[in-house]
């Protein structure tokens, strides 16, 4: 009996010849959500793909297999350490792929952060094409060295979530090439991803999944790409056009365009040829064979998903999370805190005890474990330190999920779901299945339940943990389908009879509805949610149909007087020797499916930080977010760190930096503006009759702030340390070759002039000579992370420049061009802190295409 991996020994061209037209059609579209098609007759196996940006989730949203969670991409890029990112991809992600029986990781996300309002900004590495592309390249190359395919996404200009399947990104050829395609170009040159994923949007009028110029002319012909191109999920909008354009695989295999009968009809009508279809099928087969050669054990295994957390993986995740953290402010050397000299520590803020480890949407997963900031700090403290806690204010967008508050009858955290089918007369069958669930946020579209009917029910039961005192408890219920919440058998929330449509569950859910209940002291209130997968009527839509993204989200929180909560935090701060304030956003604020409306922190957060800072000057503010937020209190706080979303090891990594076990070395991967109005795309972000005009053109991120002379809150590349560094002895070598083979070495000395060991990210910015076309004042073209330099020691650093460092895109010649002349070579500790200046002379102009 042949093994699935035996396809590695088969001639693909011969296999293509043996395929019937119908079988070739099947290979061009997925099967279900996560698989390619298998052809048993020819022993062609299927392969499995998996989200996503923060780790390998596996193939289930519903009751998913526990998985490791990495820091979000902005955090990874903030390390400025390509070797470390490569190590994480090689050692953790590749192992996770095998555990999940998945051969393709749907990531990394490599889009440019055009605006911090973008709902998925946290998923992409940076606002800068070079940092973005080089981080992606090391991530991809190291993952693929271990036999797991990356699928770089979203190709291209997937920069907002609003109307993402319809919006038309209107931009110049230079902006497209120099800003938005550039990171993909670098990843292609240095890593050669085995898969690309197209974005949902249009580019200058044409959807990316049917854009022949993008997929064939640029990607395949100009860049020489030979791998597979797949669509984003439900991101195909045509049959013939997408095939002709070079889109190999439509995903998922649910209600798509590429049904075999329609493809064959297109052949019969001469809109497509059999060769067109087989050319797309061939790329799928080549990927399957590539996986069979690189990871045969995945194809030959039992296909079961597993989870583990070996200590070496925990240590590496902790290391990369700590390396991501950026020290933004440290007046009077408040940090690092000395726990040996602290008798009483105050931990304050809504994010302190919250499990904020990543953004929402495709990035979400069932984390194998979570260390909250509070837990990490407590674990790092000596036992004799007194700790006082106050939430201070609430920071949720939606009511916080109730994983820590609901228990089953036998005391396990979580609740029980019982599934039923609905008969034609509206009555329910006997229970089809009963499932224990730890989470109160459940997308059930991929539930492995034997539900044969179109309509089905689920009843969720649990108990609210008893409170010491009588409290008002406010529940929030969101559903994709219809639902009712009962507390102690009394109806509290009805999203069944009628509902308002909202953005939850990938824009297929309801708006959150609320209900408040008084909970008696010591009472374990009975919680029941009745759910049906049929849509509920709205004021404008009375139809009943199954919801493809069926799900519920039950949240809740104790209702407290806001002023009393703030005053409690102030009182706790006053009584402590040191204060740690932990605030920010979470996956409800930053998520796939919708964009942020502003850059503000939630509710009373700003007031909380301001009042605590006044109450005790020995404080540090820890900010958790995946992108920029405004900080009106920044001038009045003593110490501030940007902690991003850090994955499983969030709390331990934060504690390592706060107490000095790790000397912070992160640098900002994006600019934080002082206000939304300062951002490059402020006047042109979002849709105008479906069109998005990229009016800022080349001036994205720090390039805009420099040319407009706008001082940001924190500039690109900025980050402090517990030590200091001196830059000296700059040498810029002459090119040893001409034309597109141009290279030049930049050398300098970096000295640790402080008292402790530290690491520093050295940044090289290049300023162009004057020319006929407008160009940014300078751009990042190289960087290097110098790790663990002992106090008082120096290291020699060499950075290589190549044709990318001096080239821009000439939209008249339709080629890359480097002009002769004198280029400025600026060595910076950030884009706003240039330490050394040199010059590079290019004696002859040259043009080039390709990579």
Residue 27 host element (H or E):
helix 21-27
What angle, 0 to 180 degrees and rounded to 10, lies between the N-to-C axes of helices 129-145 and 182-191? 30
10 Å CB burial of residue 711 (0-12, 13-18, 19+) is exposed
CA 538 to chain CA centroid, Å, is 33
> Is residue 735 a contact partner of residue 802, using CB atoms and an 8 Å limit?
no
The rounded distance, in Å, linking the Cα atoms of 592 and 233 is 13
**What contacts 310, CB < 8 A, 6 or more positions away?**
none
Q: Is 232 a catalytic residue?
A: yes
Element spanning 288, H or E = helix 274-294
> b vs e for 298-308, b when ≥16 Cβ sit within 10 Å of the residue's Cβ?
bbeeeeebebe
Among the options 128, 159, 232, 819, which is catalytic? Answer: 232
Q: At what angle do helices 373-380 and 650-658 cross, to 10 degrees?
A: 50
Distance CA(725)–CA(759), nearest Å, equals: 9
DSSP letter at 265? H
Distance CA 730, CA 746 (A): 7
Q: Token pair for residue 672?
A: 């934080």
3-state DSSP assignment of residue 436: strand
φ, ψ of residue 493 in degrees (nearest 5): -135, 135
Write down how long the chain is: 851
For 826, the token pair is: 């600026």
Candidates 414, 400, 411; CA nearest to 514 is: 400
Separation between Cα atoms, residue 61 and residue 686, nearest integer Å: 29
Round to whole Å and give the CA distance between 47 and 284: 10
Sheet holding 691-693, edge to edge: 206-207, 202-203, 168-170, 691-693
Dihedral (C-alpha) 438, 444, 450, 451: value to the nearest 10 degrees? 130
Tell me which residues are annotated as active site: 232
């Amino acid at each position: 009996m042949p093994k699935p991996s035996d396809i590695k020994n088969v001639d693909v061209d011969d296999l293509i010849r043996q395929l019937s037209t119908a079988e070739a059609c099947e290979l061009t579209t997925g099967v279900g959500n996560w698989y390619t098609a298998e052809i048993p007759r020819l022993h062609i196996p299927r392969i499995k793909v998996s989200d996503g940006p923060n780790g390998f989730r596996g193939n289930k949203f519903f009751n998913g297999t526990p998985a490791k969670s990495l820091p979000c991409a902005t955090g990874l890029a903030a390390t400025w350490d390509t070797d470390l990112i490569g190590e994480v991809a090689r050692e953790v992600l590749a192992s996770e792929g095998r555990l999940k029986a998945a051969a393709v990781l749907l990531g990394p996300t490599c889009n440019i952060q055009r605006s911090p309002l973008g709902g998925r900004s946290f998923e992409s590495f940076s606002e800068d094409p070079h940092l973005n592309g080089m981080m992606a390249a090391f991530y991809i190359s190291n993952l693929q060295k271990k036999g797991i395919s990356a699928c770089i996404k979203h190709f291209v200009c997937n920069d907002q979530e609003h109307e993402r399947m319809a919006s038309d990104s209107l931009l110049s050829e230079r902006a497209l090439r120099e800003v938005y395609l550039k990171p993909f170009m670098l990843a292609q040159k240095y890593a050669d991803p085995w898969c690309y994923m197209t974005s949902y949007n249009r580019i200058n009028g044409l959807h990316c999944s049917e854009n022949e110029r993008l997929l064939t002319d640029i990607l395949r012909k100009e860049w020489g790409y030979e791998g597979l191109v797949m669509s984003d999920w439900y991101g195909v909008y045509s049959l013939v056009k997408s095939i002709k354009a070079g889109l190999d695989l439509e995903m998922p295999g649910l209600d798509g365009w590429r049904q075999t009968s329609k493809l064959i009809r297109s052949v019969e009508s001469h809109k497509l040829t059999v060769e067109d279809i087989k050319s797309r099928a061939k790329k799928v087969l080549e990927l399957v064979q590539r996986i069979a050669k690189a990871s045969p054990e995945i194809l030959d295994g039992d296909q079961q998903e597993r989870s583990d957390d070996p200590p070496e993986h925990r240590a590496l995740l902790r290391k990369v999370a700590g390396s991501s953290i950026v020290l933004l402010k440290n007046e009077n050397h408040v940090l690092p805190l000395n726990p040996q000299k602290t008798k009483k520590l105050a931990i304050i803020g809504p994010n302190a005890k919250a499990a904020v480890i990543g953004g929402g949407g495709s990035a979400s997963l069932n984390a194998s474990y979570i260390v909250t900031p509070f837990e990490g700090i407590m674990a790092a403290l000596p036992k004799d330190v007194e700790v006082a806690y106050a939430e201070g204010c609430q920071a949720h967008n939606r009511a916080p999920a109730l994983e820590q508050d609901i228990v089953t009858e036998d005391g396990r955290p979580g609740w029980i779901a019982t599934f039923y089918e609905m008969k034609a007369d509206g009555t329910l069958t006997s229970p089809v299945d009963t499932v224990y669930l730890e989470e109160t946020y459940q997308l059930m579209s991929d539930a492995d339940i034997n539900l044969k009917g179109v309509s089905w029910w689920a009843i969720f039961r649990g108990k609210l943990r008893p409170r010491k005192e009588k409290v008002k408890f406010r529940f929030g219920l969101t559903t994709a389908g219809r639902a009712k919440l009962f507390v102690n058998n009394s109806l509290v929330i009805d999203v069944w009879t009628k509902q308002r449509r909202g953005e939850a569950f990938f824009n297929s859910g309801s708006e959150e509805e609320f209900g408040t209940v008084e909970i008696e002291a010591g009472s374990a209130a009975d919680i029941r949610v009745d759910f049906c997968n049929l849509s509920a009527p709205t004021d404008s839509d009375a139809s009943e149909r199954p919801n493809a993204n069926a799900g519920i989200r039950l949240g809740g929180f104790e209702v407290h007087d806001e002023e009393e909560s703030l005053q409690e935090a102030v009182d706790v701060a006053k009584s402590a020797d040191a204060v740690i304030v932990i605030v920010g956003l979470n996956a409800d604020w930053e998520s796939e499916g919708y964009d942020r409306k502003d850059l503000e922190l939630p509710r009373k957060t700003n007031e909380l930080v301001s009042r605590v800072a006044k109450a005790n000057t020995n404080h540090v503010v820890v900010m958790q977010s995946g992108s920029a937020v405004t900080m009106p209190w920044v001038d009045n706080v003593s110490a501030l760190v940007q902690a991003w979303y850090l994955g499983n090891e969030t709390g331990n990594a934060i504690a390592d930096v706060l107490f000095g076990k790790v000397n912070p070395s992160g640098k900002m991967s994006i600019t934080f503006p002082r206000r939304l109005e300062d951002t490059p795309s402020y006047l042109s972000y979002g849709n105008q009759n479906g069109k998005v005009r990229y009016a800022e053109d080349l001036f994205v991120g720090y390039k805009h702030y420099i040319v407009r002379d706008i001082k940001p809150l924190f500039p690109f590349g900025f980050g402090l340390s517990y030590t200091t560094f001196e830059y000296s002895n700059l040498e810029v070598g002459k090119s040893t070759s001409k034309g597109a083979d141009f290279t030049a070495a930049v050398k300098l000395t970096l000295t640790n002039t402080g008292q402790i060991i530290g690491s520093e990210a050295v940044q090289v910015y290049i300023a162009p000579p004057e020319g006929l076309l407008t160009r940014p004042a300078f751009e990042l073209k190289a960087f290097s992370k110098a790790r663990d330099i002992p106090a008082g020691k120096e290291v020699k650093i060499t950075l290589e420049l190549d044709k990318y460092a001096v080239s821009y895109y000439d939209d008249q010649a339709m080629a890359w061009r480097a002009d002769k002349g004198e280029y400025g070579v600026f060595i910076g500790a950030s884009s706003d802190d240039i330490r050394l200046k040199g010059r590079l002379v290019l004696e002859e102009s040259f043009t080039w295409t390709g990579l």
